[in-house]
Amino acid sequence: MINPPPWPSLPPVTPRSRLTLTLLALTALLSAAALVVGILALTKSEPNPMYTATQRAAAKAQLCSKYMLASDAVNIETNGNDAAFARIAAANGAIILEAAAIDPALDNEYRDAALSLAQAYQTMTATASKGSDNKQFQESIE
């Protein structure tokens, strides 16, 4: 039987030079800096756009116009004899108000009020099928 030749011995381990350690430290430092810059870029918020007084006034006028349309329809149909028309008017009123509240030039105060009323119309529509003597329905129309 033939014996295989012995494994070659590994070269002796030489200590790393200062240059290698310096390069590794520099690479780690640059990687950390790039990570910080990347995170800051992702979390940076865009400044709020500024709208002119004319744009804000136009957005408010548009919302007021849509509010009058929606509230008149809801008022007329909820005081009528047909519950289906009342539900349709309330659902449509909510959609009209939500669409008008999307305008970014609209002040938050008016947007919040419009969305709150739209939510009330939606609640009224959803609870109307429970009957007019239902507590939740009565709370939604008050």
CA distances from 139 to 41, 85, 136 (A): 47, 20, 5
Count the neighbouring beta carbons within 10 Å of the beta carbon of residue 57.
12
Q: At residue 140, does pLDDT exceed 80?
A: no
Q: What is the pLDDT of residues 3-50, one digit of tens each?
A: 887 888 877 766 667 777 788 888 988 999 899 988 888 887 766 678
At 49 the pLDDT is 78
- Rounded Cα distance between 38 and 57, Å, is 39
Mean pLDDT of the chain: 84
Token reading at 56 = 């804000």
